[in-house]
Amino acid sequence: MYEPIRTKSVHAHGPHRSREEELDIRLAGHFTALLTVTDELRVLAPAAALDDAAARLALRVERLLGHSPLRAAPTEGVADAAHVTALHQRAHMLAGQALVVATQRGDAPSTALAAERLHAHAGFLFP
């Protein structure tokens, strides 16, 4: 009939994360992705507001994970308006995702940061 399973299940025992830990990891991931896009925007369209946002995003990720986020080196290039708009769209989407997770966590500082970034990128996209 059926041959018995001879290997251990990939769903076997082991340490499991709590819901809060999973939400922390997801939120840190969204903020790290948002930080990467923010760093790209800082190179293509420098602004003090973006510098401030990048610093606060990095600090928030550090508080969530316990260590500084990995940061990719932004690409050098010409500030093509279509590319800058696409980056703002991506940042807007990431900020929205972070806002949802931060709200689920009940994390007021993260919720405020995500909402602020969502509003800032929406201001660029929908003047």
pLDDT band at 79 (very low <50, low <70, confident <90, very high): confident
In terms of Cα–Cα distance, which of 41, 40, 27, 45 is closest to 94? 27
Distance CA(71)–CA(36), nearest Å, equals: 7
Helix, strand, coil fractions of the chain, as percent rounded to 5: 70, 0, 30
Quick check: 78 pLDDT over 80? no
Q: Which tens digits make up the pLDDT trace of 84-102? A: 999 999 999 999 999 999 9
pLDDT band at 49 (very low <50, low <70, confident <90, very high): very high
Q: 68 vs 2, 51, 55, 56, 100, CA distance in Å?
A: 50, 16, 11, 12, 23
Quick check: 122 pLDDT over 90? yes
pLDDT band at 74 (very low <50, low <70, confident <90, very high): confident
Q: Which tens digits make up the pLDDT trace of 103-113? A: 999 999 999 99
Q: What is the pLDDT of residue 8?
A: 67
